[in-house]
Amino acid sequence: MKAHEFLGKAQALMEERGKQYDAQDGERSMWRTVEAFNAITGRNLTEAEGWLLLQVLKDVRQWQNPTYHADSAEDCVAYAALKAEALSGLASA
């Protein structure tokens, strides 16, 4: 896949997962996840840091196997976009 195709795939994945799990406007579960994490641990993780954590998880999974894993690569692109959104202050909190 070309870079722009990864972007399109990531957009489609976020929209589909949003319909399955969150809201019609796409993936919006991280702020609830970090809110719960912070309540349990007493930490102060941000939404952007939550997306970074998932991005790192996908990278670890990608690199621990010698062959390409499409799910890890595609999810990592989507998480990068969601992280950028959260960092820009436009995320829904």
State if pTM tops 0.85. Answer: no
pLDDT of residue 91: 57
On the 0-12 / 13-18 / 19+ scale of CB atoms within 10 A, 82 is buried
Distances (CA, A) of 45 to 16, 23, 32, 86: 26, 23, 11, 12
Where do the domains of the chain lie?
3-88
Phi then psi dihedrals of residue 23, to 5 deg: -145, 165
What are the mean pLDDT values of the chain's consecutive 10-residue runs (93 residues total)? 91 83 73 95 96 96 92 93 89 53
